[in-house]
Amino acid sequence: MTTIRVAAFSYVIYDGQQYNPGSELDVPEQFALAHMRMGNALPVDGDWRGVTLG
């Protein structure tokens, strides 16, 4: 699991619940990577290793 923070002006739906900007949640790594690539979330720990943007 990876902890992400929802980016400003975005939202993330995970497990049927909507999370708004600033929310922190633990999600599977592949889910986290997909949303970080789309710009909807940021890694809470600031570690972008393994994330390919674009």
Q: What's the confidence (pLDDT) of residue 50? A: 73
Alpha-carbon distances, residue 38 vs 8, 20 (angstroms): 13, 15
| pLDDT score recorded for residue 54 | 60
Give 16-54 pLDDT, tens digit per residue: 999 999 999 999 999 999 999 999 999 998 887 777 766
Mean pLDDT of the chain: 91
Residue of 50, 11, 9 whose CA lies nearest to 29: 50
Residue ranges with strand state E in 12-51:
12-14, 17-19, 24-27, 41-43
Q: How confident is the model at residue 9, as a pLDDT?
A: 95
